[in-house]
Structure 1
Amino acid sequence: MSNFDRNAPVWGAGRAQQTSAVEMDQGLRSFMLGVYNNMVIGLAISALFALGINKMAVTDQANAVARVGNTYLTSFGQLLYGTPLMWVVALAPLAFIFFFSFRADKMSASSARTMFFAFAAVMGVSLSTILIRYTGASVVQVFFITAAAFGGLSLYGYTTTKSLSGMGSFLVMGLIGLILASIVNIFLASGALGFAISVIGVLIFAGLTAWDTQRLKEMYLYSELGPEEAAKLSVNGALSLYLNFINMFQFLLSLLGNRE
């Protein structure tokens, strides 16, 4: 449940004061389109890897070597979901997040984009350990609910004239508390606490979606960005929105999904 580059920028004169309204509007639309394109490609990569891994791991009862709930597993599935390897797969995305955090400033835009797509693939493999617990129909249903909510929240963040910066600081503190509560609940395994974490998690990442969208818009308009810097910001922004989407999807799935 980590996110990337949550610090608000210090605005300079920026392109908002250096270009005409028409040029600014066209440039902003092109920039945001690039952000969303990168994000959608990342989501598609994650979905393909999650579905591909599950296809290799799940089989019918006659060919199964193990069982998890009502799901029958191949030998590969048993290795992936029935051994400590599951924890390695589930936590692997955190390694990418830490790497991004320390190396982002030194990467070129193309390297950052490649790393983002590699991260999306690893996240897809990690998500497969969660999706196997739910029916396919409920996963699809929750995905479309998440997509609709994300689209509305991001549109709000893009179009509102109200500053969301104060809300952002509050949400980041809430995110830290959510992470700590989730770690505690790994040991407590409390259903009530898990439910509360899921509800709060949905609200936090809903707010972060609107805030991150506005933050990216303002960073483009009011910061001094050359083509390379704008391209890198597009990738970093896509990562932030991607993480908001994935986390909101997981929390909604825990609330609304039908378990196998």
Structure 2
Amino acid sequence: MKIDVLSLFPEMFEGVLHTSIMKKAQENEAVSFAVTDFRSFSGNKHHKVDDYPYGGGAGMVLKAEPLFAAVDALSLDASKKPRVILMCPQGERFNQKKAEELAQEEHLVFLCGHYEGYDERIREHLVTDELSLGDFVLTGGEIAAMAMIDSVVRLLPNVLGNTDSPVLDSFSTGLLEHPQYTRPSEFRGMKVPEVLLSGNHAAIDKWREEQAVIRTFERRKDLLEHAPLTPHQQQVLKRLIEEKNN
């Protein structure tokens, strides 16, 4: 996969894209990154990329010309047009399902804005997706793009050491992940559940199925509306509901 980022502050990405799993992903040739300052596509000697909004109002608006020119340049050698993603608090809320969808693409371009907003023609005619991290506003799109890139890249083949890891993550199954424990088996009087020490993998799998439902019921009931539950998990959920109603 190739990932391009268009930002006015490319230095913000240095640490994130060149350490930990993102560094490993590049070393394994699962992904390549390029971060471009789109001021270089401004077309004027002052590298101005924003202007006052028509009709008046507070703040400055990012101009259409530099972003269109930058995306055109990044698309020249591509076998097909890239997925162009606008970071925007008005966009679709990003989630694991969207990360899995984007992980299937060959080329992603993330547009990171600043100032008051974007010229509307960027939304209407340039981007394929508008995505948001949540119902809050950041000073720019860079932090949101970093989070989304991380969540997408970790799903690519040969990135995580254990191929089961992304499959079992919270949200990938429709539920929150079951509790995890490691050594020692007892710490300050707190013990690891006996089933995890039993060596009985069928019993362990059953316990994990149950715990995923219990944790989701306690923390994110909304996820249970569409989660693909096994027959055993359906029984666990029914029991939880009955206990709550009694």
Specify if TM > 0.5: no
TM-score bracket relative to the smaller structure = under 0.3
The structure in which a higher percent of residues are helix is 1
TM-score by length of 2: 0.23
- Structure with greater strand share of residues: 2
TM-score normalised by length of structure 1: 0.22
Higher relative contact order (CA 8 A, sep 6+): 1
**Which of the two has higher C-alpha Rg?**
2
